[in-house]
Amino acid sequence: MPTVDLAPLADLIERQAKELADLREAAAIWQVRARQAEEQLKVLTAGNVAPDNAPEATESPESDGSTPTCIWTWVRRVWRGEGG
């Protein structure tokens, strides 16, 4: 029976395990950054709620018409702290 060299497979597994560990670390860093960004957004938008009777624009000035209006409405609501 011929002998099979498993060293290349072991090397591949080792490289993939290292890559997986690196990706886990990167994901953890991005999760922390996302939480920090959420907290910073809350601080920046605290007290910036528009009155309920304020007219809401149908499109953002930055909009070129390619983005649906509902997205800009959602962004404005989130920015004002009204949730999503």
Residues 63-83 have pLDDT tens digits of 455 555 666 677 777 777 665
Query: Does this model's pTM top 0.85?
Result: no
Which distant-in-sequence residues (6+ apart) come within 8 Å of 65 by Cβ? 59
Instruction: Kindly tell me if the per-residue pLDDT of 22 is higher than 50.
Output: yes
Nearest of 84, 65, 63 to residue 75 by alpha carbon: 84
Confidence of residue 28 (pLDDT cuts 50, 70, 90): very high
Kindly state the helix (H) or strand (E) to which residue 32 belongs, with its residue range: helix 7-45
Query: What is the token pair recorded at 33?
Result: 């950054």
